[in-house]
Amino acid sequence: MESVLGRYRNLIILVGVLFLQVLGLAVQVKKSGNDEEKTRLIRIWAVDAVTPFERALVWVERGSGNLWHNYFYLRGVRAENRQLKDEIEQMRLQQVRLADDAAQARRLQTLLSFKEQFISRTVAAQVIGSSGSDHSRIIYIDKGENAGIQRDMAVMTSDGIVGKVLLVFPSVAQVLLINDESSGVGAMLEKTRLQGVLRGTTNGEVVLERVMSDEQVPVGETVLTSGGDQIFPKGLPVGTVTKVSNGRDLFLNIKIKPAADLSKLEEVLVLVEKQERTATAEDAVHLRASDILSQRLPSVPDKPAADAKSAAAILNNGAAAGAPPAKPASNPTITATPKPQGTEQSLTGSAPAGSVAAASTKSSSVAQSGVAKTGTTTTKTGIVQPGANTGIAKTSLVGTNAAGVVKTGKNPADSSGETGTLSAPPQAKASVPSSVRPTSIAQKSTNPAAAPSITPDDSNSPNAKPKPSSSSSSAPSQSTSQPAADDSPH
Amino acid sequence: MPITYTSGEQVEVYRFSIPVTVGVPLLALFIQAFVPLRFPWFAVYFDLPLLVTIFFAMARRNPISGLITGACIGLAQDMLGHNPIGIYGIAKTVVGYGASSLGVKLDVENAGARFLVTLGFYLVHAAVYFTVARGLVNMTQTWSWPHGILAGLANAFLGVLLYFVLDKFKQRT
């Protein structure tokens, strides 16, 4: 017996070592979920042995690279600076248009009691290592539990999503990339809104699964997160479709090129906090028909305190992003004061700044787009009517200059918030001769039934709401045109 | 001038200092984990821990130390990934045992032999990994001969260069 053991000693030890490892594997495969903690200690040792060197090397590499790029190699910086300035100008214009669309979307979401997720806090982290194997596509980042990172947090770059946090150590975290075969992300196509599951393959590609083969998926379409995985908020860029072919089981095989370059990650953002709240349209105005009718009744001065409160509320609304329209006053006078150059307009009225700006970029006449909605109310005696003293902060001065740059501004004499009554500035109180007004404004002011016309270009503007009925007062456009019809004082 | 032996009785057995025994595998793991950040193809084609395993196993010519070296390096490599620990461990244990057993019987001191041995053990390693990952862990795996051959050749070429460097750390018993 001893001779047999001695003769096959090496082989027996080999079998024993293999058996132990197979046993360990079986235990790991059987356990799942919380039992990940069991293997964590041994992984910590390995990670702690390797990551300090990686962190040091990354630090040295970054330091030397920054020294070279920031102090020595500055060739082409001026040209790049000019190019970036041009891009900023273009993006400003684009931003105005997008703000317009976003405002509309918020209003629609409000109608649907839509809940959406907002990214409220991210942590920037540096990539310091990888698994070193094409069977395990993960990276290590230099932030961990101490920085507030937890499991299953989304990781992204400015280009698109990268992956999710898989394991967290005190100062290091392990991130599973979206091209790993074990990853899965809820995704959808941007235009067709088809939803599927984004998965990695064994050779590191990313595919969108679970899209039926009878659907039309064009190459080049953008893929976004759908939010269905409860990890990535909805709407983050994922990538673009590069190839579509028929797969198995009546599903398409859609290859995706990730928006973020997963092979050259240096810095990433970890989404450590997100909020889910019901969308609110800040510019939503809820008016009842009776409110409008009551505004036309002979005025009874409100109490100053109430006036101040309502004025402050509307001023706050006006100051908010998107500059929601204030509650319309009765008999508003939309006053346009053309600048001497004729390229900028001064409008009295409260309207979404972005909307006005957007309209201004599309049309030189703000009134044509129906943006100016409410204005200060003047009477023959110059007393502000009750509807007006709800705080119509006069006027955001918005227009475009000849170069198409959007300018916004506020007149410091917009309101007298202390008393709650708002007095229009001198030029606003004085009625502008029709010869000076933009034609469209004058036409609207004299036509009671004329709601601000929405041109196709303005269909995305906040004013492009469904046409309200004559009694409906929820639409700002209605509330704008209706009082404007009563341009003449009672 | 290196002495080569082809008979079992005349085999030269080498040993290594503790810093080299610990440091070289750790350095290999570190490079394997760090270099793919800049050169992603490195992880696809090269497996430095495998080359180190083969080198130590062939130099020591002791199957037990070879399999233990392979097991330790493989398990450490497993720990850096997210897959269950033991897949690389099993594959490199087999390779370590085989390389050291082969080193006892064959002349593995010249470049040609090293090239062929490394190529062969790379394929063995890939086959064992594939079998374990697919059979025991139920991972999705696809076998690709072109990739296996190409990666095997690349590793063999790199291995020959690496072994000449590591030969400097050999100590005769």
Confidence label for B40 from pLDDT (cuts 50, 70 and 90): confident
Token digits of residue A243? 């190839």
User: Regarding predicted confidence, which is higher, B163 or A467?
Assistant: B163
Confidence label for B69 from pLDDT (cuts 50, 70 and 90): very high
Is A484 within 8 Å of chain B by CB? no
Return the residue of A nearest to B147 by Cα. A203
Contact B85 A203 (CB under 8 A): no
Q: Residue A354: what pLDDT?
A: 35
Residue A217 contacts residue A211 (beta carbons within 8 Å): yes
Shortest distance, CA B83 to any CA of chain A (angstroms) = 7
Token digits of residue A77? 């910086």
C-alpha pair distances (Å), A164 with each of A32, A149, A167, A176, A271: 18, 11, 9, 5, 9
**Any idea which of A395-399, B50-54, B74-78 has the lowest mean pLDDT?**
A395-399
Q: What whole-number distance in Å separates Cα of residue B9 and Cα of residue B113?
A: 20
Mean pLDDT of the region A400-413? 38
CB atoms within 10 A of CB A123: 18
Contact B80 A46 (CB under 8 A): yes
Q: Domain of A210: which CATH number?
A: 2.40.10.340
Query: Do A299 and A272 fall within a single domain?
Result: no
Query: Do A434 and A458 fall within a single domain?
Result: yes
Phi-psi region of B86 (alpha: psi -120 to 50; beta: other; left: phi over 0): left
Is A135 within 8 Å of chain B by CB? yes
CB-count burial class (<10 Å; 0-12, 13-18, 19+) for A448:
middle
Confidence label for A428 from pLDDT (cuts 50, 70 and 90): very low
Contact A18 B63 (CB under 8 A): no
| pLDDT, tens only, A338-354 | 444 433 333 333 333 33
Mean pLDDT of the region A147-175? 90
Query: Do A258 and A352 fall within a single domain?
Result: no
- What is the DSSP secondary-structure string of A227-285? STTSSSPTT-EEEEEEEEEE-STTBEEEEEEESS-TTS--EEEEEEEEEEEE---TT--
Confidence label for A448 from pLDDT (cuts 50, 70 and 90): very low
Q: What whole-number distance in Å separates Cα of residue B94 and Cα of residue B73?
A: 12
Q: Residue B157: what pLDDT?
A: 95
Mean pLDDT of the region B76-92? 90
| Partner residue facing A202 (CB), from B71, B97, B141 | B141
Q: Which residue has the tokens 């394997």?
A: B32
Residue A189 contacts residue A223 (beta carbons within 8 Å): yes
Domains of chain B in start order, with CATH, are 20-168 (1.10.1760)
Token digits of residue A59? 């630090």
Q: Residue A309: what pLDDT?
A: 54
CA nearest neighbour of A465 among A114, A100, A115: A100
| pLDDT, tens only, B3-22 | 444 444 566 778 889 999 99
Q: Residue A278: what pLDDT?
A: 63
A258, A278, A298 - which closes a domain? A278
| Whether the predicted pLDDT of A456 surpasses 60 | no
CA nearest neighbour of A150 among A127, A121, A174, A183: A174
Query: Do A352 and A423 fall within a single domain?
Result: yes
Confidence label for A2 from pLDDT (cuts 50, 70 and 90): low
The amino acid occupying position A152 is: D
Is B8 within 8 Å of chain A by CB? no
Contact A29 B137 (CB under 8 A): yes
A220, A254, A278 - which closes a domain? A278
| Partner residue facing A49 (CB), from B26, B90, B142 | B26
Coil, strand or helix at A123: strand
b/e code A453-471 from CB counts within 10 Å (16+ = b): bbeeebebbbbbbeebeee
Coil, strand or helix at A127: strand
Q: What whole-number distance in Å separates Cα of residue A310 and Cα of residue B85?
A: 66
Contact A131 B93 (CB under 8 A): no
Q: Residue B24: what pLDDT?
A: 93
A420 part of a folded domain = yes
Helix (H) or strand (E) holding A306: helix A304-319
A440 part of a folded domain = yes
Is B36 within 8 Å of chain A by CB? yes
Q: What whole-number distance in Å separates Cα of residue B120 and Cα of residue B115?
A: 9
| pLDDT, tens only, A187-203 | 999 888 888 999 998 88
The domain tally of chain A equals 2
Residue B29 contacts residue B74 (beta carbons within 8 Å): no
User: Phi and psi for A189 in degrees, rounded to 5?
Assistant: -80, 140
Query: Do A262 and A329 fall within a single domain?
Result: no
Query: Do A174 and A126 fall within a single domain?
Result: yes
A320 part of a folded domain = yes
Confidence label for B161 from pLDDT (cuts 50, 70 and 90): very high
Query: Do A445 and A404 fall within a single domain?
Result: yes
User: Regarding predicted confidence, which is higher, A136 or A353?
Assistant: A136
| pLDDT, tens only, B97-155 | 999 998 888 777 888 999 999 999 999 999 999 999 988 888 888 888 899 999 999 99
Q: What is the largest CA-CA distance in chain A?
A: 121
Chain A residues near residue B90 by CB distance under 8 angstroms: 18, 21-22, 25
Query: What's the mean per-residue pLDDT of chain A?
Result: 66
| Partner residue facing B80 (CB), from A25, A132, A166 | A132
Token digits of residue A229? 């995985």
Q: Residue A393: what pLDDT?
A: 37
Shortest distance, CA B34 to any CA of chain A (angstroms) = 5
Q: What whole-number distance in Å separates Cα of residue A55 and Cα of residue A171?
A: 11
Mean pLDDT of the region B36-54? 91
A4 part of a folded domain = no
Beta bridge partners of A271: A122, A154
Chain B residues near residue A19 by CB distance under 8 angstroms: none
CA nearest neighbour of A465 among A115, A95, A103: A103
Is B16 within 8 Å of chain A by CB? no
Query: Do A247 and A150 fall within a single domain?
Result: yes
User: Regarding predicted confidence, which is higher, A225 or A395?
Assistant: A225
Report the complex ipTM: 0.84
Confidence label for B91 from pLDDT (cuts 50, 70 and 90): very high
CA nearest neighbour of A366 among A388, A387, A348, A389: A348
Q: What whole-number distance in Å separates Cα of residue A468 and Cα of residue A465?
A: 8
Is B10 within 8 Å of chain A by CB? no
Is A60 within 8 Å of chain B by CB? no
| pLDDT, tens only, A167-190 | 898 889 999 999 998 889 999 998
b/e code A32-67 from CB counts within 10 Å (16+ = b): eeeeeeebeeebeebbebbbebbbeebeeeeeeeee
Query: Do A350 and A262 fall within a single domain?
Result: no
Q: What whole-number distance in Å separates Cα of residue A48 and Cα of residue A128?
A: 13
The upper half-sphere exposure of residue B128, i.e. CA atoms within 13 Å in the direction of its Cβ, equals 22
Q: What whole-number distance in Å separates Cα of residue A408 and Cα of residue A405?
A: 10
Shortest distance, CA B91 to any CA of chain A (angstroms) = 9
Chain B residues near residue A128 by CB distance under 8 angstroms: 37
Contact A14 B63 (CB under 8 A): yes
Contact B26 A42 (CB under 8 A): no
Mutation pick from B37, B79, B101 vs chain A, by most beta carbons of A within 10 Å, is: B37
Chain B residues near residue A21 by CB distance under 8 angstroms: 71, 75, 86, 89-90, 93
Query: Do A343 and A209 fall within a single domain?
Result: no
Confidence label for A223 from pLDDT (cuts 50, 70 and 90): very high
Chain B residues near residue A14 by CB distance under 8 angstroms: 63, 67, 93-94, 97
Contact A265 B77 (CB under 8 A): no
CA nearest neighbour of B120 among B134, B136, B103, B104: B103
Contact B77 A138 (CB under 8 A): no
Q: Residue B83: what pLDDT?
A: 87
| pLDDT, tens only, A236-273 | 899 999 998 887 778 888 999 999 988 888 889 999 88
Coil, strand or helix at A248: coil
Q: What whole-number distance in Å separates Cα of residue A267 and Cα of residue A437?
A: 54
Is B21 within 8 Å of chain A by CB? no
Chain B residues near residue A53 by CB distance under 8 angstroms: 30, 34
CA nearest neighbour of B74 among B23, B37, B125: B125
Q: Residue B66: what pLDDT?
A: 92
Q: Residue A479: what pLDDT?
A: 38
Query: What's the mean per-residue pLDDT of chain B?
Result: 87
Mean pLDDT of the region A32-39? 52
Q: Which ranges of chain B would DSSP assign to H, the alpha helix?
A: 18-38, 41-45, 48-60, 63-80, 87-105, 111-135, 145-166
Contact A45 B79 (CB under 8 A): yes
Chain A residues near residue B57 by CB distance under 8 angstroms: none
Return the residue of A nearest to B73 by Cα. A46
A57 part of a folded domain = no
Chain A residues near residue B40 by CB distance under 8 angstroms: 263-264
Token digits of residue B70? 């392979």
| Whether the predicted pLDDT of A277 surpasses 90 | no
**Any idea which of A70-74, B44-48, B72-76, B157-161 has the lowest mean pLDDT?**
A70-74
Q: Residue A105: what pLDDT?
A: 80
> Any idea what the Cα angle at residue A164 is, between residues A160 and A165, rounded to 5°?
140
Query: Do A236 and A258 fall within a single domain?
Result: yes
The domain in which residue A144 lies consists of 116-278
| Partner residue facing A129 (CB), from B37, B83, B85 | B37
Mean pLDDT of the region A145-166? 91
Q: Residue A258: what pLDDT?
A: 93
DSSP character at residue A72: I
Q: Residue A299: what pLDDT?
A: 58
Residue A369 contacts residue A430 (beta carbons within 8 Å): no
Query: Do A406 and A433 fall within a single domain?
Result: yes
Confidence label for A75 from pLDDT (cuts 50, 70 and 90): confident
Contact B86 A28 (CB under 8 A): yes
Shortest distance, CA B1 to any CA of chain A (angstroms) = 32
| pLDDT, tens only, A320-335 | 444 444 444 444 433 3
A219, A244, A278 - which closes a domain? A278
Residue A381 contacts residue A467 (beta carbons within 8 Å): no
**Any idea which of A112-126, A253-267, A405-419 has the lowest mean pLDDT?**
A405-419
| Whether the predicted pLDDT of A451 surpasses 50 | no
Contact B64 A136 (CB under 8 A): no
Token digits of residue A275? 């909020």
Token digits of residue B59? 């130099």
Confidence label for A215 from pLDDT (cuts 50, 70 and 90): confident
| Partner residue facing B33 (CB), from A45, A50, A180 | A50
A109 part of a folded domain = no
| Whether the predicted pLDDT of B77 surpasses 70 | yes
Shortest distance, CA A216 to any CA of chain B (angstroms) = 28
Contact B90 A21 (CB under 8 A): yes
**Any idea which of A263-267, A467-471, B8-12, B169-173 has the lowest mean pLDDT?**
A467-471
Residue B86 contacts residue B119 (beta carbons within 8 Å): no
User: Regarding predicted confidence, which is higher, A309 or A185?
Assistant: A185
